[in-house]
A and B are shown apart, each in its own frame.
Chain A
């Protein structure tokens, strides 16, 4: 079930009302969450439910077994390792089987051997990368004594399958989300209202900005060999806004929806396009995934507390894995490695840990230096997205070469002005709200303290969504 669908429009109010009015205790609410989440997820394909139930059950049992073997560290290690292997195996089969077999086949062909390989026509279950990582984090945290294993299977299933964040994150940690299912939820008016605002902003980002950009960007990408350099550059720019608005829009809707149910999910995006450096970008983009990699891969490898060459090695490993997580294609790996190279450069220069505060905090405009830093970072990110979007390495190379041709000065034939205007409006609003949790978090010390003005703003955004919502594009991150 998509957030921007008629079904969700009916689903959410029913879930909200039943959750708060029919199920009095948090235990019944948890059970209801599981049922509602399975309906939400099964809407795509009921067969997906078997896999998520299996993954949930295995991780739940692993947690209990690890705790039962307290004191027997080797046994705990074995149980944890088996659970990790099982989950990664399932992820590998559904997501990477054909990728690996195709590449092995190519390798053998280079030596003149043809393999009679079986290519599986496997459906990729929606959200498998997200909930698998969420389940893994639980087992690892229990093993590391960061959290006690839960003995309540309903609570655990609710944690894994919680529908707002099930299919595209944020990838929650058991230390944050599980305790919330273990205690009574209290409805808070201000949280719920702010949750609705965040959802509204998410819908605006997805339906107006992302979908409008997607319409033009897809046309440019599908016919890239005949486009001028300028239009190819615009195609890259539009995709840059598309992926941000699509993904962060989904996260906003997910977080806002969870707040309606009294649950707080972690922040997933922190205005990443205002970053002054690539390391800062990665502290602000897909925060839940990057912190997952940091905590479960980077730190165990030594993190930053080792020799510089090892830090660089760890960075490359994390970003290569991150690239592969995004999809079964070498373009994603190259995209990850591209960012690893950039971060390594910052590391070598020694400026990778700078820029932790909000850019131009307390000021209306950035300084010239900050502006240049943001533009350079944005340009690096944009070229990275070209690698990400391309269907193959050759496609990416051809696309980039197409940009850097004499036709970069040929601005005729570009019909993406409207989506760029939407993107500019978005950037302006987010700039002035960059110190907030989301762009529609309103302060009550200005005009927004008046209800009429607030409602006028909400209706304005709803009107924009109605007038300018683009073609119904699916969420990009569903393919991960």
Chain B
């Protein structure tokens, strides 16, 4: 037994050293979470409009073109729970916060919690950079090494000397002003709709509570809450499950009856053409610019 443990220990020393070193290095790789957390820590007292949400707002709303001083803390696959935690984390710092924009998409109400998805590894970003200690120190959510694929991608980023934060200075996703259009055909629509359609409603109540918690926070702090359904392409919205869509609208209606908020629905907005999309449910840089200007005007009119 002693021989076994000794040999195993010697064998594992290089591996453990690489793992520990890798974990420490990866934590310092520039990324959008680190950037946004640092920005909020230093500038939350100045922000007037805060954009929460998923990739729909991350790539769909350009803070530069909103009337007031805006910043986006939206990130791909960000759950409502983390939207709420980020919003409330800096509550002591907000001096000028007037509006909070939260996307309500087709999948938002029934969507699974972050821990239960394939992208659970993103939680590590919130634990490490935002210091949102939702999980114990022994939990896998504290360590980037616990999921090999993103860990590897971050290390490769270092090796390629890629120091991009994957967002611009105001937290917007299209930092390269890419105009590349991806597949918007029916096939892509089917895949996205299939991925976004959730038959199991076990997370619905929790998600409604999260939205209400955000609404309650905004109400208490005299902040205008703006719920937005971002534009999508016909190959996406024509295939949506009617029941799930009904759930989205009825939930917004119910919450609107309880809390003061604005709801703006651009799901089937015909002003957006193929050029405005990077895929059937995400806007391109050009589309985001157009959308932000329309959104800005509509918010002022409300």
Interface on A for B, CB 8 Å cutoff?
5-7, 10, 20, 187, 189, 192-193, 196, 207, 222-223, 226, 455, 458-459, 462, 465-467, 469-472
Contacts and interface: CB of A to CB of B under 8 A. Distances in A.
Interface of B: 1, 3-4, 7-8, 11, 14-15, 118, 138, 140, 143, 145-149, 152, 187, 190-191, 194
Contacts of B3: 189
A455 B143 contact: no
Contacts of B1: 20, 187, 189
Nearest to A4: B148
Counting from the closest, the 9 A-B pairs by CB-CB distance are: A6-B140, A6-B146, A469-B148, A187-B1, A189-B4, A192-B4, A226-B187, A189-B3, A471-B149
Contacts of B187: 223, 226
B143 A6 contact: yes
28 contacts: A5-B140, A6-B143, A6-B146, A7-B140, A10-B138, A20-B1, A187-B1, A189-B1, A189-B4, A192-B4, A193-B4, A193-B7, A196-B8, A222-B191, A223-B190, A223-B191, A455-B11, A458-B11, A459-B14, A462-B15, A466-B152, A467-B152, A469-B148, A469-B149, A470-B149, A472-B118, A472-B147, A472-B149
A222 B194 contact: yes
Contacts of A459: 14-15
Contacts of A472: 118, 147, 149
Contacts of B15: 459, 462
Nearest to A455: B11
A58 B8 CA distance: 41
Contacts of B148: 207, 465-466, 469
A462 B12 CA distance: 11
Contacts of B4: 187, 189, 192-193
B148 to A, nearest CB: 4
A20 B1 CA distance: 9
A467 B194 CA distance: 30
A20 B5 CA distance: 12
A395 to B, nearest CB: 14
B114 to A, nearest CB: 14
Contacts of A187: 1, 4
Nearest to A474: B118
B118 A471 contact: yes
A467 B149 CA distance: 8
A470 B150 CA distance: 10
B297 to A, nearest CB: 39
Contacts of A192: 4
A469 B7 CA distance: 26
A133 B194 CA distance: 36
A10 to B, nearest CB: 7
A469 B153 CA distance: 12
Nearest to B1: A187
Contacts of A458: 11
Nearest to B2: A189
Contacts of B14: 459
A219 B140 CA distance: 28
A121 to B, nearest CB: 8
Nearest to B141: A6
Contacts of B146: 5-6
Nearest to A207: B148
Contacts of B152: 466-467, 469
A466 B3 CA distance: 27
A65 B237 CA distance: 63
A462 B1 CA distance: 24
Contacts of A7: 140
B44 to A, nearest CB: 32
Contacts of A193: 4, 7
Contacts of A10: 138
Contacts of B149: 469-472
A470 B194 CA distance: 22
Contacts of A207: 148
Q: Which of A193, A207, A459, A472 has the most CB of B within 10 A?
A: A472
Nearest to A190: B4
A435 to B, nearest CB: 27
A206 B14 CA distance: 24
Q: Which of A5, A6, A7, A458 has the most CB of B within 10 A?
A: A6
Contacts of B7: 193
A187 B148 CA distance: 32
B1 to A, nearest CB: 5
Given A20-B1, A223-B187, A466-B152, 14 more contacts: A5-B140, A6-B146, A189-B4, A223-B190, A226-B187, A459-B14, A459-B15, A465-B148, A466-B148, A469-B148, A469-B149, A470-B149, A472-B118, A472-B149
B193 to A, nearest CB: 12
A8 to B, nearest CB: 10
A472 B122 CA distance: 13
B136 to A, nearest CB: 12
A359 to B, nearest CB: 34
A468 B11 CA distance: 22
Nearest to B19: A466
A120 to B, nearest CB: 14
Contacts of B143: 6
Nearest to A226: B187
A284 to B, nearest CB: 31
Contacts of A471: 118, 149
Contacts of A467: 152
Nearest to A470: B149
B210 to A, nearest CB: 23
Contacts of A465: 148
Contacts of B138: 10
A470 B118 CA distance: 12
A458 B8 CA distance: 12
A475 to B, nearest CB: 15
A472 B146 CA distance: 11
B234 to A, nearest CB: 18
A222 B193 CA distance: 12
A10 B145 CA distance: 13
A154 B7 CA distance: 34
Contacts of A196: 8
A211 to B, nearest CB: 9
Nearest to B138: A10
Nearest to A467: B152
Nearest to B190: A223
Contacts of A5: 140, 146
A189 B6 CA distance: 12
Contacts of B191: 222-223
A466 B153 CA distance: 11
Nearest to B186: A226
A468 B224 CA distance: 47
B288 to A, nearest CB: 28
Contacts of A20: 1
